[in-house]
Amino acid sequence: MRKWMLQRTTEAAMTPPVNDSQAPLPTAVRWSHAVLSPRLQKGDIVVDATAGNGHDTLFLAQQVLPGGQVFAFDVQAPAVESTRKRLAGHPFSAEEITLIHSSHEHLGVRLPPELRGHVRAFMFNLGFLPGGDKKLITQTQGTMSALSQALDWLAEGGLLSVVAYPGHEGGRDEAEAIEHWLMTLSSDAFEAQKIGFLNFRPTTPFCMVVRKRTSQPPARDQTFSGE
């Protein structure tokens, strides 16, 4: 049975079981978890670029700890505190999780330099802090800078997920900028996907995922499937 079918986080509302036959289709956040989960393992290095209330940081920690390293950025002190509280009830070692009160734009100087090229996953869950000031949102320029740095820090085979919120002011421009940029990525070096609802309001959040290709030649069956 696949790993993601077995996993149950304590944040049931964030990551309900994906294999529930009666479940509605996954939301953007659930998609990001569902794509990452089977590709992460204990010992991996991962980064939550927008810690917020810590749901994604907890999700990442549950995938890679013990043995791995989790880094989580947020520009807002209340978000860092909220994330710290969410992690507190779990048996993680303090050395394995680093909460960074800083913009993800600075990830290139805040992450340990030896980890460049070794990060297995970055998560960007954009927008504002739920329950916080809705005017403090991710900004297109900063997000684009952080995303572009993140691709550089990804390991081969590593994943980057983005949950975009076109519903709030500036959110649509940010989402479109990311989407257009992802369309320009070399398909020899990256795979990029967009996952979202087609018949919901256009303001509905959607998910984008990038995978950094490995430099190894594709397996024989992939060659024949047109990859």
Ligand X SMILES: C[S@@+](CC[C@H](N)C(=O)[O-])C[C@H]1O[C@@H](n2cnc3c(N)ncnc32)[C@H](O)[C@@H]1O
* CB closer to ligand X out of 30 and 55: 55
When binding is defined by CB under 6 A, the residue of 127, 158, 166, 205 that contacts ligand X is 127
* CB closer to ligand X out of 131 and 157: 131
Task: Say how many CA atoms lie within 13 Å of 172 toward its Cβ.
Answer: 7
Residues numbered 90 to 109 that lie near ligand X (CB under 6 A) are 103-105
When binding is defined by CB under 6 A, the residue of 30, 74, 97, 192 that contacts ligand X is 74
DSSP state of 69: E
Contact yes or no for 157/119 (Cβ under 8 A): no
* CB closer to ligand X out of 44 and 105: 105
Alpha helical stretches, state H, 26-93: 28-36, 55-64, 77-88
Task: Say how many CA atoms lie within 13 Å of 20 toward its Cβ.
Answer: 13
Residue 33 touching ligand X (CB under 6 A): no
Residue 138 touching ligand X (CB under 6 A): yes
**Distance separating alpha carbons of residues 155 and 132, to the nearest angstrom:** 33
Looking at 71-79, 91-99, 150-158, 203-211, which segment touches ligand X (CB under 6 A)?
71-79
Residue 166 touching ligand X (CB under 6 A): no
Provide, rounded to whole angstroms, the least separation between the CB of residue 141 and ligand X. Answer: 10
Torsion over CA of 55, 56, 58 and 60, rounded to 10 degrees? 170
